[in-house]
Structures are given as structure tokens and as C-alpha cells.
């Protein structure tokens, strides 16, 4: 019998998750959104029931798992309620608005024996997975460069009018922060995926005086596999990057026996643009390129999540994935505020 899912939140990101879940064999039985017309339209498309109140879903007894795709500040109450109801959880990134809340969600899932995934789908890009498989051929890792440069237009220039008083921007309300929460969180997840948890962080942030979210985040991250040079930026440069479309994201991992270079295409053009991986092998002197057909990492991630939930196992992606990123974000913020390098206090 296929696992029964509820999709909570029907925003733009779910245009990847709805087909991803169904392709993975899951049955979507409920859909929730505060916009009832939107929830109804999605429900009719997938033969599901709909509601504006996710609590109705949790009390229905008609789902085994939930996909939480709402705005960031709502993740904690929804995830905790779903866990309390005994439902497995896939949550869009970031897991929470702060590391304390992410820790609470993770501990609750562990205590209830719930499978919890934070959907950092870039782990599932074929070129990224190939890179992970090639890591043993690099020898001793001594340096990594990783970044996400996203074309945000003239965000660095003062706007003609400012926000009134202390009113919070819609951007911060939806996502909890700026480029660090958006593109940077994915790159921090890949740091853990490739190199393990960082032990020490030194970070700098830049928030223009007319904004309430950062447009630049830079950090040095000390790991057991060398130092990571990390950067995330929302920028106005129109023709930089792998495909000269302004999107400049990827990593370079250097070891004593070789190098990996990964160049990413934009996250929301998965059906038309692909990524590139280059592997330099020092013994042979060969540079090998790996190119793949465009494919949805969302669908690949959802297939992994659903398969493990059907088997009742967490699988290779740790339950702490979302917490790990949120803890790094918190330490990077504190480092930027104090001007000091900080030991990372991993609490779980």
C-alpha cells in the first residue's frame, strides 16, 4: 500500500514536489493552504481532499506523512504538531527560523521515532552525487571553496522609498533571512555532506541600511577535512556564471590527489538546464567532465524520502540535517556580531 501524504502549503516550490511525490508512488490524500482556491485546485488535480486548516488533516487519520512547504516562521508549529500526531515529516528548508527551534523539532522527532527530512535537494543533483562518490580519489582534502551567487538585481542600491518605521519586509517574513537562508543554506548543507560538521566558524555579513536581511555572507569554516571558504551573495551581475545567466553557484574541493569542480544551473530550471562536474586526477593528469541530462533534484529527493518512509528507516540522510544548517547559520550570525571565530556548539 502506498504511503499517504498531505501537502501543507501550495506555494511555488510545490510545483516540483507534487509530481515528485506521485512519481515516487506516494498517494496525496490531503492538501492544505490558507488560500482555499489554491488548495482546492491542487486537491482536484491529485484527487485529494483540501482544507485551510492543517489541524484538520492531522486529526483525520488519513495520512502517514506530511510535506511542509509553508513560509519559514510556520515550520516549527506545523512540524511539531505532525510529529505529535505520529506522522513522518518532509520540511522545506530552512527547517526553522533559528537553531533552538530546529533543535526542538529534531529532538521531538527522535523521541517519537519519526522520520524527519529537511529537503536540501541539491544533495540529489546527479553531478553532486557523482562528486561525493569521487571524494575518496582526492586523497587528503586540504581546501574547499563553495559559494552561491544569485542574481537579485539592484538590491545593493538604495530604493526610492524605504519601509515605514520598523515594519518587517515580506522577504524576511517568508524566509526568515536573506541570502544566507536562501542560497547559502544549501551550500552549508553541502559542506556537511562532503566534509562533515564544521568545528569552528568565522563569519561576516553585509546588510544594507535600507534592508532587514543580509545580501552577502562570507565565512571560513574549519573542518576535519581542511578549511572551507564559503560565500553567498545576492548580486546585480547579469552575465556571470557557468551559463552566463547571472547564476554563479558551485564548489571546488582540493585534495593531495586531485580536484573536483562543480558548476550549478539555476535551481528552478531543472527541466531545461543541467550542471557540470570536472574531476582532475593528479596521478594520470586527466581532467574528466561529467555532464547530465536536465533532471529534477526535487523528484530525486522525494523518491529517496518516500522509499525510506515506506521502509520505516531514516536512510543515509541524517535526521539532524536541518538542525545542522540552522546551527551553522546561528553561529555565523553570532560570529559576525562579535567579530570573533567561534567553536560550533553541536547540541545533538
- Whether the Cβ atoms of residue 143 and residue 227 lie closer than 8 Å to each other: yes
Which residues make Cβ contacts (< 8 Å) with residue 1, sequence separation at least 6?
Answer: none
Q: Which CATH class is domain 4-121+300-318?
A: alpha beta
Return d(Cα 320, Cα 189) in angstroms, integer: 11
Digitized pLDDT (tens) for each residue of the chain, 348 residues in all: 699 999 999 999 999 999 999 999 999 999 999 999 999 999 999 999 999 999 999 999 999 999 999 999 999 999 999 999 999 999 999 999 999 999 999 999 999 999 999 999 999 999 999 999 999 999 999 999 999 999 999 999 998 776 555 566 777 777 778 999 999 999 999 999 999 999 999 999 999 999 999 999 999 999 999 999 999 999 999 999 999 999 999 999 999 999 999 999 998 887 788 899 999 999 999 999 999 889 999 999 999 999 999 999 999 999 999 999 999 999 999 999 999 999 999 999
Return d(Cα 316, Cα 115) in angstroms, integer: 12
- What are the domain boundaries of the chain? 4-121+300-318, 122-296+327-343
Return d(Cα 26, Cα 5) in angstroms, integer: 7
To which H or E segment does residue 107 belong?
helix 99-112
Q: What is the pTM of this model?
A: 0.96
Three-state SS for 224-237 is CCEEEEEEEEEECC
Return d(Cα 341, Cα 330) in angstroms, integer: 13
Query: In the structure grid, which three cell numbers stand for residue 322, read together?
Result: 536541518
Hey, is 216 helix, strand or coil?
strand
**Which residue in this structure is represented by grid cell 527551534?**
101
Return d(Cα 343, Cα 274) in angstroms, integer: 37
Q: What angle do CA 117, 188, 322 make, to 5 degrees?
A: 20
CB atoms closer than 10 angstroms to residue 19: 15
Query: In the structure grid, which three cell numbers stand for residue 175, read together?
Result: 524566509
DSSP letters spanning 245-277: SS-EEEEEEEETTEEEEEEEPPTT-TTT---EE
**Which residue in this structure is represented by grid cell 538585481?**
153
Cα-Cα end-to-end distance for the chain: 34
- Whether the Cβ atoms of residue 141 and residue 301 lie closer than 8 Å to each other: no
Q: What angle do CA 85, 90, 94 make, to 5 degrees?
A: 115
Compute φ and ψ for 292, nearest 5 degrees. -130, 155
CA distances from 229 to 32, 42, 275, 328 (A): 40, 42, 21, 14
Return d(Cα 79, Cα 165) in angstroms, integer: 33
Q: Considering the domain delimited by 122-296+327-343, tell me its CATH architecture.
A: 2-Layer Sandwich (3.30)
Which residues make Cβ contacts (< 8 Å) with residue 26, sequence separation at least 6?
Answer: 2, 3, 4, 5, 65, 302, 306
- Whether the Cβ atoms of residue 291 and residue 276 lie closer than 8 Å to each other: yes
Q: What is the pLDDT of residue 278?
A: 98
Nearest to 193 by CA among 44, 321, 47: 321
Which residues make Cβ contacts (< 8 Å) with residue 332, sequence separation at least 6?
Answer: 180, 201, 203, 205, 217, 219
Amino acid at each position: 500500500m502506498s504511503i499517504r501524504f498531505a501537502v501543507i502549503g501550495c506555494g511555488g516550490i510545490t510545483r516540483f514536489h507534487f509530481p515528485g511525490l506521485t512519481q515516487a508512488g506516494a498517494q496525496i490524500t490531503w492538501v492544505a493552504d490558507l488560500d482555499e482556491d489554491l488548495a482546492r485546485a491542487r486537491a482536484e488535480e491529485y484527487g485529494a481532499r483540501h482544507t485551510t486548516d492543517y489541524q484538520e488533516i492531522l486529526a483525520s487519520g488519513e495520512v502517514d506523512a506530511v510535506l511542509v512547504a509553508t513560509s519559514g516562521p510556520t515550520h516549527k508549529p506545523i512540524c511539531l504538531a505532525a510529529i505529535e500526531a505520529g506522522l513522518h515529516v518532509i520540511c522545506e528548508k530552512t527547517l526553522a527560523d533559528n537553531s533552538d527551534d530546529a533543535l526542538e523539532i529534531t529532538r521531538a522527532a527522535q523521541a517519537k521515532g519519526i522520520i524527519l527530512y529537511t529537503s536540501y535537494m541539491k544533495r540529489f543533483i546527479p553531478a553532486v552525487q557523482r562528486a561525493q562518490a569521487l571524494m575518496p580519489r582526492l586523497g587528503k582534502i586540504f581546501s574547499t571553496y563553495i559559494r552561491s551567487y544569485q542574481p537579485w538585481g539592484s538590491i545593493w542600491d538604495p530604493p526610492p522609498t524605504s519601509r515605514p518605521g520598523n515594519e518587517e519586509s515580506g522577504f524576511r517574513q517568508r524566509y526568515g533571512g536573506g541570502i544566507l537562508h536562501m542560497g547559502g543554506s544549501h551550500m552549508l548543507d553541502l559542506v556537511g555532506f562532503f566534509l562533515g560538521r564544521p568545528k569552528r566558524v568565522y563569519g561576516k555579513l553585509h546588510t544594507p541600511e535600507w534592508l532587514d536581511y543580509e545580501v552577502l555572507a562570507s565565512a571560513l569554516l574549519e573542518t576535519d577535512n581542511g578549511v572551507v571558504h564559503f560565500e553567498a551573495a545576492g548580486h546585480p551581475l547579469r552575465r556571470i556564471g557557468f551559463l552566463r545567466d547571472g547564476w554563479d553557484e558551485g564548489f571546488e574541493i582540493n585534495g593531495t590527489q586531485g580536484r573536483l569542480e562543480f558548476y550549478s544551473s539555476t535551481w528552478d530550471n531543472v527541466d531545461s538546464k543541467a550542471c557540470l562536474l570536472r574531476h582532475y586526477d593528479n596521478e594520470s593528469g586527466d581532467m574528466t567532465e561529467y555532464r547530465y541530462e536536465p533532471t529534477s533534484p526535487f523528484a530525486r529527493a522525494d523518491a529517496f524520502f518516500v522509499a525510506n518512509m515506506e521502509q520505516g528507516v531514516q536512510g543515509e540522510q541524517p535526521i539532524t540535517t536541518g538542525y545542522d544548517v540552522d546551527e551553522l547559520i546561528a553561529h555565523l550570525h553570532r560570529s559576525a556580531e562579535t567579530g570573533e571565530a567561534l567553536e560550533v556548539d553541536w547540541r545533538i
